[in-house]
Structure 1
């Protein structure tokens, strides 16, 4: 590897590199895992309420009135057909 440093220093450098890579991978996994909970907490905070948590899982609440859409009978049938088509492909 390097001619100017001893084998012990090379081994130490390799161990330090592997530890750094493992730390970065663990940190990325931790941040990715908590991303949904953090987003839900921020949204609840923005709405002015905090959701109650049961064993770390947020309770489901009634959607905001803006998020609710009433479908006509034709739209409902079209959506049901879409869901059936997507579930058949699995």
Structure 2
């Protein structure tokens, strides 16, 4: 036992070590159990919605678009070129 370590610190280290070993044993037994029975965690499909969340409906005004005049299109193109140059 180190002379500079208080007893509570040594006890705390021992408790943490025992907890880590117990966690590893439970994890390995659970993995072995899942492998032995053929049960695998289901892979989540990307397109499947989350079952816990209600379906969201679109609320708000419809999307709008506005046609630009040729002068406005030219001004926008100049602005984009200016931003692209830095």
TM-score over 0.5 for the pair: no
> Which bracket does the TM-score occupy, shorter chain normalised?
0.3 to 0.5
Which structure has the higher relative contact order (CA within 8 Å, separation 6+)?
A: 1
More helix by share: 1
**TM-score scaled to structure 2, two decimals?**
0.42
Greater Rg over alpha carbons, structure:
2
Tell me the TM-score normalised to structure 1 length: 0.40
